[in-house]
Amino acid sequence: MATAKKTPPNPPNKWIVVRRSKVHGNGCFARRFIPKGTRVMEYVGERISHKEADKRYEGADVNDNHTFLFIADRKTVIDATRGGNESRWVNHHCDGNCESETEKGRVFVDAIKDIQKGEELGYDYQIGRDKNDPPNVDEIYACRCGSPKCRGTMLWPAKRPKQAKRKKVAKRKTAAKGKKSKGKKSKVGKSVAKGKRVTASTAAKRGKTGRSKAKRKA
């Protein structure tokens, strides 16, 4: 009787090591000096559709701030809980030493500063806000990176946008035939969020799933 072949484990990354973090759960720390501009690793995992991602995590606890989904493109979400590597443990940091880059459907973690040996890696998740977010979403996705530039949340924009109020325009009398003209209400424009779109993964987008629309959390 034939035995199933086991998938060989991913070789350890030469740049980083995973251990417990003061920021949150596990974290990635520099195994050695990492020069600015280094492509540290690729964010990998099972590549699934946005529909499958939503279906897979539709019953997820809304109070769980672990986000392992990353949107690669409009059709694909990377689920790092299956076949993922160390990249899923890179924590959010408001003033991080890394950033995520998407190229042709692949996601990479690049160093944007020199990183000293033993220093923790981090990048801004910029998890997008959603109209269906629970009232305590800022508490769930609170940031504890400790940076002087910490905005206190992994979400973007930092504060929940206020809904613009429509202004009433008083009715005016017209000179013509003594008739009254109808007052027009001012248009309410939609603000455009700054920063990267944490895809249904930027997903770094958070979607219905464990935040298929949210940039992902380690």
What the block records as the tokens of 36 is 């600015």
pLDDT digits (tens, 9 = 90+) for 5-30: 554 566 789 999 999 999 999 999 99
In tens, the pLDDT along 179-193 reads: 333 332 221 222 222
- How far does Cα 210 stand from its chain's mean position? 11
**What is the distance between the alpha carbons of residues 63 and 53, in angstroms, rounded to a whole number?**
18
pLDDT of residue 182: 31
Residue 94 tokens, joined: 């408001």
- Under a CB-based contact definition with an 8 Å cutoff, are residues 74 and 43 in contact? no
More confident site: 110 or 217: 110
| Residue-by-residue DSSP string for 31-90 | SS-B-TT-EEEEE--EEE-HHHHHHHTTT--TT-----EEE-SSS-EEETTTT--GGGGP
* pTM strictly above 0.85: no
Q: Which residues pair with 108 in a beta bridge?
A: 42, 101
C-beta separation of 48 from 105 below 8 A: no
* Res 63: pLDDT: 76
3-state secondary structure (DSSP) of residue 173: strand
